[in-house]
Amino acid sequence: MANLIRLTYVSKATFDCSLGEGSVGSDELVQEVQDILAEARKNNQKSQVSGALFFGEGYFFQCLEGKPSLVLPLVEKIKTDPRHEGFKISYQKAVPRRYFSGWSMKYVPVTPDVINLMKSRGYPEFDPVNFHESDINEMFEMFTKVDDTSLLNERLREYSSIIKPWWQRFGELFLPRTRQI
């Protein structure tokens, strides 16, 4: 059996996500979360760590899978990240296989579909602090099938930068930068 562990934790974002972004049902992705995903994907790919990150109602709920010698030091690093607080490990165990193999970090927004899945498990809302271990595994397994909207966000951003009107591009390239107020 491969020497693999799965660790899941819950934490609360320290940045402001009160504008509707990152709230249940919202497809918009807060810039801070997009930055965390980019960092995680770059690093995890190198160390063959896989996993998923949920973000909703200001809570992070992350699953990390891989070799213990790589996952455990990573968790120590993530724990001290000032972008979140109230870090609490939900569970940590040796596992025979990965749920998120092929995903250096899958992003799962807390959409109404996800909420419905949770309701069917007896949770009236997205409240990862109180999830039971037995439900967490089942939920993660189901969430392997949910679409990753952050990839769509990234593509939309790339696309909008390609189709930016020429006068905006001209301004950016040739006009002196003015102070934004």
Binding segment (CB under 6 A) for ligand FMN, from list 18-26, 71-79, 130-138, 149-157: 71-79
Among 6, 26, 50, 60, binds ligand FMN (CB under 6 A): 60
CB of 115 within 8 A of CB of 63? no
Of 40 and 118, nearer to ligand FMN (C-beta) is 40
Tokens, residue 25: 């049902």
Of 57 and 121, nearer to ligand FMN (C-beta) is 57
Tokens, residue 143: 């969430």
Residue 178 DSSP code: P
* Nearest-approach distance from CB 36 to ligand FMN, in angstroms: 5
Q: To 5 degrees, how large is the angle CA 133–CA 134–CA 138?
A: 110
Of 60 and 126, nearer to ligand FMN (C-beta) is 60
Residue 21 exposure: Cα atoms within 13 Å on the Cβ side: 14
Of 43 and 111, nearer to ligand FMN (C-beta) is 43
28-47 in b/e form (b: 16+ CB < 10 A) is: ebbebbeebbeebeeebeee
Residue 10 DSSP code: E
35 binds ligand FMN (CB under 6 A): no
Q: Can you tell me the distance from the alpha carbon of 167 to that of 102, in angstroms, rounded to the nearest whole number?
A: 41
* Nearest-approach distance from CB 78 to ligand FMN, in angstroms: 4
Of 42 and 164, nearer to ligand FMN (C-beta) is 42
The footprint of ligand FMN (CB under 6 A) covers 36, 39-40, 43-44, 60, 62, 74, 77-78, 81, 83-84, 105
